[in-house]
């Protein structure tokens, strides 16, 4: 994962950057139940992919 900027990570949670969220879920989940389990233990970090771009909005 990309952590160029210091971000508050949540200990005990799976810390995932916003730009990695969809690829992470698609590569690790087969069902919506799998997605729900991962998201229950996830912390979405506000980290930019590039210093020249803003962090991805989640909507």
pLDDT digits (tens, 9 = 90+) for 1-59: 454 445 578 888 999 988 889 999 999 999 999 999 999 999 988 777 677 766 666 65
**Residue 35 domain flag:** yes
pLDDT at 57: 65
Helix, strand, coil shares, percent, the chain, to 5: 35, 15, 55
Q: Is-above-0.95 flag for pTM?
A: no
Residue 55 in any domain: the answer is no
Enter the tokens of residue 12.
């005990």
Q: Is residue 38 part of a domain?
A: yes
List Cβ neighbours of 17 (8 Å cut-off, separation of 6 or more): 1, 2, 3, 44, 45, 47, 49
Structural domains in the chain (count): 1
Residues of the domain holding 25:
14-45
Q: List the beta bridge partners of residue 14.
A: 42
């Amino acid at each position: 994962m990309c952590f160029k900027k210091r971000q508050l990570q949540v200990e005990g949670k799976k810390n995932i950057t916003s730009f990695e969220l969809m690829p992470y879920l698609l590569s690790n989940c087969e069902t919506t139940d799998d997605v729900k389990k991962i998201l229950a233990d996830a912390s979405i970090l506000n980290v930019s992919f590039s210093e020249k771009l803003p962090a991805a909005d989640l909507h």
